[in-house]
Structure 1
């Protein structure tokens, strides 16, 4: 694997910084040491491990009985550490990385080094997100509110049989809370100091009648300070009017100094109807609204030199939360499609309905029906040069809606053989517009398009039908053999057009030419598992699994004269491999041990490369990639000390291209492996053996949680987690500038509960080591030179980053 080890650099932290971190931890954790509470709900009062029930195989099973590599977070854990987004869940899940991105699909979810690039709208995520049994395939799902949740399960490796297409890397399954049999009420207020964030949460739940219950949950959050400090100064730019041949000068002011100042509002209403013991139906309605002052506030520039390439007078911020973004002049902003005056902005709105029905009224057969409708709307403007130079902008208007229905039946025969059979249908429509302004051109002969350099319009309609089955054979009480397959048939109809291109640049971008493609995909995805209960508390298993992710169409591509026929389409991605391991519960349910080894091969891995040299996107399929490794997990909850929970993980993962002739990064010289005479004349490099993006070889965590009963209805809950991540690349194309050193991250919380848990005061600290964590990177337009030549300079890179150290206080009342 082409990666160096810089562990020593991480260990050599300044003494003062280490002392500060130690003091913070001691203040929060008191008598405990680094760790995390894992799979411990109410076991604290008695000691020992709490039984955890998961639904990874579409049926309720104990965590220790399921032959799947899985990380399960309980509702209590989610609540205690404020894990209200997929990004926050990733910090607690080994080998899961969530990248929030400024364009394209808006996000990349990566598991064991396998993920989908954020730069393409048309590529579905390789990590499928399932909410209350329904599939959410868009990257912007990270904008949905993950709160008032019953559980989160992260399944690793291909999961095609039960979760269908687009689960080649794994699945994140979220179950939200349902109404109970008693009246419940919760109100929470909080404040986070770094971003000056105010939050409020409310939940009320209970029975309306003997058979009908309701639950309403609302979460709001507003940040009054920014993640990044915007230091951009005003910039003047001359615009040539192609209609009159005159030149006009516009001043682009610096955008808001503090960015992004997020605002979020989420709501969920649940109605649960239980008219009989055989029938249960749950209807959920979801609403999400998220807005912020800049879609690129979490993008920080990294440079190979001390200063910006495009603006040598400014020092490159590198690992510092500083950015340089210019707003639009009012005259342009008031006359540019989807702009909102001068300001940068990002708005996301969505709603969804989900109906989940269980019926057990047929002898020896359980039926489940899930109906889902979801719709989201996204608008934003991006300033994409980042270096306080004559700027460029793109506005985005993207809509997505989907309807799905799934019917599943599970037999319950007394004999050794049972079956699970299901059918799935989904219909989606995605419409995407990009409208681009490159400062320097205008056309007063146009009204709507006066300041538009070129615009893009694209749509994809998708119909998917799938059938799946599984045979479950129990050989006595000790051995279970399961085998099944899923058949998927999918059709996609897409178009792409650039309706307007400024006449001065029609030699660069092709105007008004429709590109259409009708695609069909079909696939059989088989799976087989053998599990052996050597004792009631020790299981061995081995599994063969496959996965399938359909091909598609690059909706946010760019059409140039050199775009090859079919250049906007890409093929399906497949996965195949094995995993096996043991799961043990020992010492009278005080200790659990899991050891799992795996190897999966991926063919035609879907990738998207932003070619900053000619402002175009290259969507392609990598030849092949392999991910293999071993995972170790242990949890200890001693009976002798009720309330104490120790948890640790250690993971080795090698994820790299096996065969792939891919694009060069800007500034990659011939000596560094870039060859100029690639297919179609484009430079290429041999990426065989190169590590995939966000694929550290080693990750580990160590954890302690202690729930201390103080008497008189009071208790104190303490929690600390330490996480280690090895060196990794933030980009999948090998740029040395995207290589990141290993780091340690520490999170902690302290909760004082009063009046028998009616009141709770909490302090939550995240990333207390204040690590600068990069989760994605790409070359910046107009920077770097010498690609494929003897001499060159690497392009500056835009890096998506995680939050710095945050400390939050909360006050909660429960009834």
Structure 2
């Protein structure tokens, strides 16, 4: 067997085989870590009557079994993802209690939170508190979440601060995706499905195999076209009564191993996402007053009836096109020009990752991971969310055409030892260079209801551009010491230095707005600087009582850099800063975490039963928060004084005595509370202190129970069925007041039935996701342009809420083939 095929075959054979192969091929440490991951659903025989599930994770940047690594990790294999037709990050939430995923919006484009800690989706200035790692590279844009994923080998969710090994932006955890790699022999796979509820189809395929004795390749692609991603409420004044969604993802992988001591893995991926607007699945709740509040503009000079029906459970969205007075004159160049106020969205992302591993000696290996990301995204939508004039004329206001452009380069080097003795180490360095441009024309005042700009003809209030340049440098070191045969002490520290420089330009202001209270046309801020550095230590003690029982205790810290807000509007915060020359009000501070966890990982009854549990306690200081004041039409960026989280995570798996039947269950208890002063804007110009209130997106209890059952029919046919039931006891959906919207408890149910060949050559499946069509709120916030108390129009104070929700029921019929 040639070298490349031997290594790929070893990886496919599980950890035990890989260890043996590693010894034969020059050492386990030399194996390409990015490519080495057994599907979480594979079973490897271990000399007993049960199939031992050997799951490999890289929670400490090296290959370790899930049962031995002293980190709380949930691993989901590629087979499970395919089984339930999971190709969106949001769909993973039902498998990971306390994971909350929001997709959509014009800011960052998405949000991830774990154990009640996340970062606002309305700000593109924040890094995510849950790091999103894609094939070994931490990406800084949540728009990768919008596009989904495919051909994935394994998804790992690491809970708690992970700054030592994953760097900044991992204060709450890590969501890691690893795509599939070349196979030892030529293989072709195709999959097609049709979804009945949203009227969508998906086709995907791959070709994989060795080009030579030392070079392997894999080319994969997926196209998803959904006609009815959103259905609008009858009577909505919009061209697109059915909002659609299209995704195209193409990935190429090359794996080269010219010798036993060197290997390289290159991945290049292109993603194209198109949609009919950035708002996504957002319903408008009518608040305590029960009324569909109108759009209140220009101090009451313009009042547009809302038109929405207050039904937030029917999955019929009222999202009008732009009002005729606001639609035509978009400051050029803009992709929204000429569309006459019809919402749309388009994102193009190029992602590349080159990893190589070099054995410097029999005991030292060098790993290099280079990442490149280029994103160009533009969308258009109207953030009044509602509005219809008499006669069914569109009344959408607050429209904007944000252009998000990102160029990110990162380089990481790791030197790791593989000594036979009690001591081993890892040393590393990381550098990131990132340029993010947020360029948007906006209608914050909607002055063009009084008339378009008489000079330019533009109907937008202003055009502004925030350009943020980020440079980050960090060094880290970790060590593992076997104090005894059963006791391991590990730990290390990462030092991070991050610098951000932002410039703000406002080339255009509507003529009617030029004067006091607004910056002048042609405004340029000059450089606004932010700089911070941090030491993030970590230490873990692991005790291996026997081969099947491990205890661990960890002290961990986390760090997420602060920066400069890029949501400031020329009408308020920016104009005040321009007058004073002091832009410090736009700067938010770095977020830090400190705490620890204790736990155990165990297997019983010949490793047929697995039981793992972790108890944790963490304090997050200067938690980065951004909310939107729906009355003043201003973004509010701040740092929460302190959030304390504590709880317990329990995971179990059982390979039952019934042939082919496996059960699994997860349960999480979470207590998250603001434990220091946390001021947010209140009514009548006052403030509200959220100190003592429960954190948002933090259910007290959450869990799931799942089964899969394979039943052989004959030598050429097998029957398979599986199900997953997930429970969440509810949570607060915002962090703005003491009585924010509360999502009540809910259950979701998934299931699949399939028949196919035992060797996977073909399979026909019926797949149901969220079969009970349970609709729940993920996040909430005040709807823009609400009537204030005591307004001159005599209208009741508006209290409508924007409720971002999950997708409803999906039912797929799917066929897959492998050759």
TM-score range, shorter chain: 0.7 to 0.9
TM-score by length of 2: 0.87
Superposed displacement of residue 755, structure 1: 7.0
SS in 1 for 2:566: coil
2:395 is equivalent to residue 387 of structure 1:
no
- Give the structure 2 partner of residue 31 of structure 1: none
2:567 is equivalent to residue 556 of structure 1:
yes
- Give the structure 2 partner of residue 525 of structure 1: 536
* TM alignment of 1:579-728, pairs within 5 A: 579-638=597-656, 640-664=657-681, 682-728=685-731
- Give the structure 1 partner of residue 799 of structure 2: 795
1:161 to 164, 172, 187: 164
2:811 is equivalent to residue 807 of structure 1:
yes
Paired with 2:496 and 2:306, the residues of 1 have a C-alpha distance of: 54
- Give the structure 1 partner of residue 392 of structure 2: none
Superposed displacement of residue 274, structure 1: 1.0
* TM alignment of 1:302-341, pairs within 5 A: 302-304=285-287, 305-310=289-294, 311=305, 314-328=308-322, 333=327, 335-337=329-331, 338=334, 339=336, 340-341=338-339
Stretch of structure 1 that moved more, 350-359 or 156-165: 350-359
Contact conserved, 1:232 with 1:325, CA < 8 A, in 2? no
Superposed displacement of residue 444, structure 1: 4.5
Paired with 1:610 and 1:66, the residues of 2 have a C-alpha distance of: 41
* TM alignment of 1:94-109, pairs within 5 A: 94-109=97-112
Change (3 A) 1:508 1:645: farther
Contact conserved, 1:218 with 1:267, CA < 8 A, in 2? yes
Paired with 2:647 and 2:634, the residues of 1 have a C-alpha distance of: 36
- Give the structure 2 partner of residue 40 of structure 1: 41
TM-score by length of 1: 0.88
Change (3 A) 1:417 1:297: closer
Could you report, residue by residue, the CA deviation over 1:159-196 in whole angstroms, capped at 9, with x for unpaired residues? Answer: 00000001000001111111011011111111000110
Report how many aligned residue pairs link the two structures: 740
Paired with 1:314 and 1:59, the residues of 2 have a C-alpha distance of: 53
Superposed displacement of residue 613, structure 1: 1.4
Contact conserved, 1:228 with 1:298, CA < 8 A, in 2? no
Superposed displacement of residue 411, structure 1: 0.8
Paired with 1:767 and 1:169, the residues of 2 have a C-alpha distance of: 27
SS in 2 for 1:77: helix
- Give the structure 1 partner of residue 520 of structure 2: 511
* TM alignment of 1:748-767, pairs within 5 A: 748-754=751-757, 756-767=759-770
Contact conserved, 1:591 with 1:637, CA < 8 A, in 2? yes
SS in 1 for 2:380: strand
Paired with 2:465 and 2:686, the residues of 1 have a C-alpha distance of: 28
Contact conserved, 2:284 with 2:801, CA < 8 A, in 1? yes
2:287 is equivalent to residue 287 of structure 1:
no
* TM alignment of 1:277-426, pairs within 5 A: 277-304=260-287, 305-310=289-294, 311=305, 314-328=308-322, 333=327, 335-337=329-331, 338=334, 339=336, 340-342=338-340, 343-389=342-388, 390-392=395-397, 393-426=399-432
SS in 1 for 2:228: coil
Paired with 1:462 and 1:69, the residues of 2 have a C-alpha distance of: 31
Change (3 A) 1:431 1:475: same
- Give the structure 2 partner of residue 249 of structure 1: none
SS in 1 for 2:507: coil
Paired with 1:492 and 1:327, the residues of 2 have a C-alpha distance of: 37
- Give the structure 1 partner of residue 478 of structure 2: 470
Contact conserved, 1:232 with 1:326, CA < 8 A, in 2? no
Contact conserved, 2:572 with 2:634, CA < 8 A, in 1? no
- Give the structure 2 partner of residue 5 of structure 1: none
Change (3 A) 1:255 1:182: same
Higher relative contact order (CA 8 A, sep 6+): 1
SS in 2 for 1:88: helix
Stretch of structure 1 that moved more, 136-145 or 379-388: 136-145
Contact conserved, 1:771 with 1:804, CA < 8 A, in 2? yes
Paired with 1:417 and 1:345, the residues of 2 have a C-alpha distance of: 57
Superposed displacement of residue 794, structure 1: 5.7
Stretch of structure 1 that moved more, 61-70 or 142-151: 142-151
Paired with 2:628 and 2:740, the residues of 1 have a C-alpha distance of: 16
Paired with 2:200 and 2:267, the residues of 1 have a C-alpha distance of: 28
SS in 1 for 2:51: coil
- Give the structure 2 partner of residue 8 of structure 1: none
Structure 1 residue runs of 5 or longer lacking an equivalent are 1-37, 235-253, 669-675, 677-681
Paired with 2:115 and 2:678, the residues of 1 have a C-alpha distance of: 22
Paired with 2:263 and 2:70, the residues of 1 have a C-alpha distance of: 28
Contact conserved, 2:649 with 2:666, CA < 8 A, in 1? yes
Contact conserved, 1:270 with 1:285, CA < 8 A, in 2? yes
Paired with 2:328 and 2:658, the residues of 1 have a C-alpha distance of: 66
Superposed displacement of residue 232, structure 1: 4.7
- Give the structure 1 partner of residue 455 of structure 2: 446
Superposed displacement of residue 707, structure 1: 1.3
Structure 2 residue runs of 5 or longer lacking an equivalent are 1-38, 295-304, 389-394
Paired with 1:543 and 1:436, the residues of 2 have a C-alpha distance of: 48
* TM alignment of 1:194-343, pairs within 5 A: 194-234=197-237, 254-259=238-243, 261-304=244-287, 305-310=289-294, 311=305, 314-328=308-322, 333=327, 335-337=329-331, 338=334, 339=336, 340-342=338-340, 343=342
Superposed displacement of residue 706, structure 1: 0.7
- Give the structure 1 partner of residue 468 of structure 2: 460
Paired with 2:224 and 2:179, the residues of 1 have a C-alpha distance of: 19
Superposed displacement of residue 257, structure 1: 0.9
Change (3 A) 1:329 1:686: closer
* TM alignment of 1:127-142, pairs within 5 A: 127-142=130-145
Stretch of structure 1 that moved more, 479-488 or 489-498: 489-498
- Give the structure 2 partner of residue 486 of structure 1: 494
Change (3 A) 1:561 1:651: closer
SS in 1 for 2:471: strand
SS in 1 for 2:508: coil
Could you report, residue by residue, the CA deviation over 1:383-437 in whole angstroms, capped at 9, with x for unpaired residues? Answer: 1112224331111111001001111011112221111100011100000012113
Contact conserved, 2:349 with 2:374, CA < 8 A, in 1? yes
Paired with 2:489 and 2:111, the residues of 1 have a C-alpha distance of: 35
Superposed displacement of residue 480, structure 1: 0.5
Contact conserved, 1:643 with 1:706, CA < 8 A, in 2? yes
RMSD: 2.1
